[in-house]
Amino acid sequence: AVYRDPVHDFGIFKYDPASLRHSEVSELQLRPEKARQGLDVRVMGNNAGEKLSVLGAMLARLDREAPVYGKGTYNDFNTFYFQAASATSGGS
């Protein structure tokens, strides 16, 4: 792992695609400028203890400020948030 974010529960891995067997590697290009309110999206994660769930959602807000957790604690910076209306619980 090159980077692990325990607050948001994701990681970035570095690997050599040529060393993979029996797998096709493709690139997923992120396009935040294409987001618009009301767009149907998918939320991927481990929702409510289920492994590898993919749930439908709709983008509700594109201008959400990063949360402020208080002085002396972890706070996001240099980022933006999209808010989705979904039926997910903690873990997604």
Q: pLDDT tens for the chain, 92 residues: list them.
A: 898 877 777 788 898 988 989 988 888 888 989 999 999 998 877 777 778 788 889 999 998 888 788 888 877 877 778 888 887 776 54
Task: Report pTM.
Answer: 0.59
CA dist list (Å): 15 to 19, 42, 87: 8, 26, 34
Model pLDDT, residue 33: 92
Q: Given this model, what pLDDT does residue 43 score?
A: 82
Q: Give the pLDDT confidence score for residue 90 in this predicted structure.
A: 60
Print the SS3 string covering the chain: CCEEECCCCEEECCCCHHHCCCCCCCCCCCCHHHCCCCCEEEEEECHHHCCCEEEEEEEEEEEECCCCCCCCCCCCCCCCEEEEEECCCCCC
The per-residue pLDDT for 58 is: 94
Specify the pLDDT at position 38.
95
